[in-house]
Chains A and B, each alone.
Chain A
Amino acid sequence: MPPSISALAKLVQTALHQEDLSGLCEMLHEVTNLVRGHGCVLWQFDQHRATTSQGGHFFVVAQWFPKVSPYASHDLSVSSDVGKAVFTLAPVISASPLSENDHPFVVRDRLLSYCTVPLTFADAALGALSVYRNTPDPFEPAQIDQLLELASLTPELFQTIRDKLSYHLLKELNSILNDGDTGAGDNTAPEHLMETVTGRISAAFQCLETSIFLRNPYLPGELFQLMATTLENGHMKRQYRGDYDEGLTGWVLKRGQPVSIFDLSHFERDRDSIRREYPRLRWNDSAKVETAVRKHFGLQPHHTLPPMSFMAAPIIEHDEVLGVIRCCTATKGPAYFAERERDLLRLAADQIGQSWRGWLVRREMREENRSWRTLVNGISKANDLAEAEFDQDEPSENTVFGEVLKVIAAAIPETDTLDIRTMDPATEEYRLVVTHGTAWTQGPRQQVSQLRNSRLPMTDIDTLEVKAIREQCIVISSDESQLNVQRVLFPLTRHVALAPLRSKGRTTGLLEIRAEGSHGFPKYTEPMLQVVTQQLNLYQSLAEIVRRRRALERQQVMDLTKQTQIYQDLSHQLRSPIIQAYARIQSALRIDPIDDRLRLKLLKIRGLCGKAKRVTLGVKLFVDLASRQPINTASEVLRTEKLVPMLLEAASDHELMVEPERGLHFEVDRRSFDVLDRRMVRADFDLLEQAVNNLIDNAGKYSYSNTTVRIAGGVTGKDRFYVAVTNNGIPIRSDEIQKCVERGWRSQEAQAVTGEGSGIGLWLVDHIMRAQGGGLVINPYNQDGLIEMKLMFAVA
């Protein structure tokens, strides 16, 4: 391979291994080696920023010298040897002594000769490549040819490095921002994401400072907030409004256009030409970049600053400026940001813009979801409160309304003061019933009281309130010209939302919420108010229904009380003559001798009187229990000599009351009651008589023909006295035991064999026994296969 081809191949290989822009310096290093030089400088002609009167100058794009700073801040005029080479399109070879003016590094590196060859950059800019030697060896023609070839290839290869860098950077940013979009970003603060982004961009452009500012709608004033910066001095401004007086960043935000400053260290020198391109642009180094640069490169104040190239691109999404990304001062060569870098920064800005928009949309969705969740949970609590409130004797929806106002304040961001007015049907004025928000309590007491007592008349004035009430629609406004009424009460009001409450097609109230902040209400305020007002309407209707029901209940209680008194009176009137008749029959039966037929008739009449007496007592107990009055008891010690005769009489009377041909017998096991002699049992005798007769009556009704109803006393294993009535008749299923003591329940079979009664007998017995501390035990199948009902008595 000819030496020139071999050299080109080496240069290409070197270029392809580079990962960042400083790869250009490595290429210059390779060129230096290939032509046996000591160092190498790549120059570019800039015709716009003339540093002398000759028009245009040459600046150092990049250089390579051993153990030398990567930047060079000096430039050359068009009359220099570099200019000669560029404008004659021919190599210029120079030997000692070299001009120190043209080459400030000559003395430093003791350079003795150099060769400069012209070249053209990818963007058609003119430039040159100079190779310096610190040996007296002259540049051979072959070496000059080789340098010409290497120089012609250098811009293309540098372009390749840039392309590679662009591809990797955009791919990487896409990955970082997509990760943020799909998951981590929702849980991680966006500042962290942007920190990664600035770090990556800073590394790609090898710049000292990369910063990102983004507009945060959740900050007051919608300022552009510093999201991340690689400048570590802490002087970077935290927030920007986006105005000309805020320097470079403010200009980009204001104009929505990119800015590129060749070298900020010459800002004052180049100001006129800069302002021709960027009108009203200012720079006052508020971030103290210059100090940071000196610190980074270890420069004293008397040292010349390195190039401080600057570029910034607006972050725009859907024609809206969302922020800015800025880069300043390359820490490695090349020292200046070229057009290619500015384009890449704009592409990166587009990616950031899309990601930020996505984050804002997701944040908005999260906010909305949070608001809806808050609303739903709050309404749920309000429902609980409503349930408790509506249990009150005099329920008022205003208690629940107050809770709902708190819920709205928590659910709808920005809400400051809230109230609900309801219509006074008499005057059709809207009277304040509940309020929420500190503005309602601030200020002198009298003023607050006046505020609270203010009434909203339904006049013809064209206010938002009147519109909401008349048109029965939700009104949301931030129009200052419409907020006069609101500002009378609350001067700081900037936004208002009004929602009418309705019942049966009429407006019955008005919910009003106000905000003082700059953002205004979120867009979901209207659907949220629709839900809330539906709920408020419901509370209002329910409260009205409950109030009406309570009034009816009170009326019913009064009616029931009167009815109870009437029942009690009738029962009393009925009971008295029956007891009299009963007593007289008992007296007649004691006449001796007495005719058997007369005796039988008297016994039957006694049975009828006894039944009537039980029915009247039953009516009284029924009425007492129905009106939730306890059964009054007057207990006495139960004695055999009183109990057994009562049971015998009951058995005798019931036997006479049943159809003789049914062959039904009633027996009292007198001996079984002897247990009473050894025990102290207390009971209300009248109630006991009622209970035991009810059981015997039931046994008479439901027993099969030719069987015996047996009445006996006894004690349980726990020494509790009982009176048991056993019979053989219509069976009771085990699942019917509980139902037997329900009021009005009778089995189908039981119902079929009675021509009277309503199924309250056992219900009464159960209550009677429980009122005395005892109980009723129903055994549908005792050891003899009989139905057994036991009146259990409390242990005295």
Chain B
Amino acid sequence: MEIVFVEDDPLQAEWIQEQLQNKYPRATLRRIKTESEFRAKVETLAENPPDIVVMDVMLRWADPSPAMPHVPDDAKVGHHRAGLRCQRLLSSVPATSGIPILLYTVLEDDDLAAEIRDLPQNVVYARKESSPENLYRKIQTLTRQPPR
């Protein structure tokens, strides 16, 4: 099993990685840190689709750098819905549109009510909680992978 998780916060990423490794020790975990990195890797994801993408919603565009990737117009609105932009991009590419996506965020579902109302069947919302159970349950639903 291969899980790609998109998370810009290092401590959050560390925690998710630990929980996923605990639950799916044989799974291959790949982290994407920023929106720009995700966009750059869509082609790779198309060539080698993961079993699931765990996607944070609030993401920065890039790490600070003198040679920072150019910010396209649609990303200039800010980080607040960056994960949803990534999800829509993935869903719009035929080769990746079938990849299950778990929108994993601290935002409440009513904060995202408008955005998650008409999600494709393979895209599911889950709220980040202190317990990983919700994360596991949603991954299981989306991948039909029985936990170890």
Contact = CB atoms under 8 A, between A and B. Distances in A.
Our verdict on whether A and B bind, yes or no, reads: yes
Interface of A: 604, 607-608, 657-660, 662, 701-705, 729-730, 748-749, 751-756
A753 B60 contact: yes
A756 B58 contact: yes
- Name the residue among B10, B33, B62, B64 with the largest chain A CB count within 10 angstroms: B64
Contacts of B9: 755-756
A752 B10 contact: no
B79 A704 contact: no
Nearest to B77: A751
Nearest to B78: A751
A704 B10 contact: no
A660 B10 contact: yes
A754 B79 contact: yes
B109 to A, nearest CB: 20
A703 B59 CA distance: 17
Nearest to A701: B64
Contacts of B94: none
Interface stretch (B19-27, B44-52, B65-73, B113-121): B65-73
Contacts of B68: 749, 752-753
B89 to A, nearest CB: 17
Contacts of A657: 10-11
Given A608-B11, A657-B11, A754 B60 contact: yes
B61 interface: yes
Contacts of A607: 11
A208 B114 CA distance: 105
A755 B60 contact: yes
Contacts of B66: 704
29 contacts: A604-B11, A657-B10, A658-B10, A659-B33, A659-B63, A660-B10, A662-B63, A702-B64, A704-B64, A704-B66, A705-B64, A729-B64, A730-B64, A749-B68, A751-B78, A752-B62, A752-B68, A752-B71, A753-B60, A753-B61, A753-B63, A753-B64, A753-B68, A754-B60, A754-B79, A755-B56, A755-B58, A755-B60, A756-B58
B144 interface: no
B148 interface: no
A659 B10 contact: yes
A755 B11 contact: no
A123 B10 CA distance: 128
B63 A755 contact: no
Contacts of A753: 60-64, 68
B75 interface: yes
A703 B63 CA distance: 9
Given A730-B64, A752-B71, A754-B60, 11 more contacts: A608-B11, A657-B10, A704-B65, A748-B76, A752-B68, A753-B60, A753-B64, A755-B8, A755-B9, A756-B9, A756-B79
A752 B60 contact: yes
Contacts, number: 54
B12 to A, nearest CB: 10
Given A659-B33, A701-B64, A749-B68, A755 B10 contact: no
A703 B71 contact: no
Nearest to B64: A753
A473 to B, nearest CB: 54
B103 interface: no
B82 interface: yes
Given A704-B65, A729-B64, A748-B76, A755 B59 contact: yes
A257 B64 CA distance: 105
B81 to A, nearest CB: 11
Contacts of B33: 659
Contact of B64 (A604, A703, A755): A703
Contacts of B61: 751-753
Interface in B79-122: 79, 82
Contacts of A730: 64
Given A604-B11, A657-B11, A660-B10, A751 B79 contact: yes
B9 to A, nearest CB: 7
A754 B61 CA distance: 7
Q: Which 4 pairs across A and B sit closest by C-beta, in order of nearness?
A: A755-B60, A752-B61, A755-B8, A753-B64
Contacts of A704: 64-66
B58 A705 contact: no
A752 B65 contact: no
Contact of B75 (A608, A749, A752): A752
A755 B33 CA distance: 10
A654 to B, nearest CB: 12
A658 B68 CA distance: 18
A767 B58 CA distance: 28
A658 B60 CA distance: 14
- Name the residue among A607, A753, A755 with the largest chain B CB count within 10 angstroms: A755
A604 B18 CA distance: 15
A749 B67 CA distance: 11
A86 to B, nearest CB: 120
Contacts of A702: 64
A509 B94 CA distance: 71
A659 B62 CA distance: 13
A489 to B, nearest CB: 66
Contacts of B62: 752-753
Contacts of A703: 64
Contacts of A608: 11
B65 A755 contact: no
A660 B66 CA distance: 19
Given A752-B71, A753-B68, A705 B63 contact: yes
A320 B9 CA distance: 99
B71 A755 contact: no
A452 B62 CA distance: 76
B53 to A, nearest CB: 17
Contacts of A729: 64
A705 B65 contact: yes
B31 to A, nearest CB: 10
A307 B104 CA distance: 127
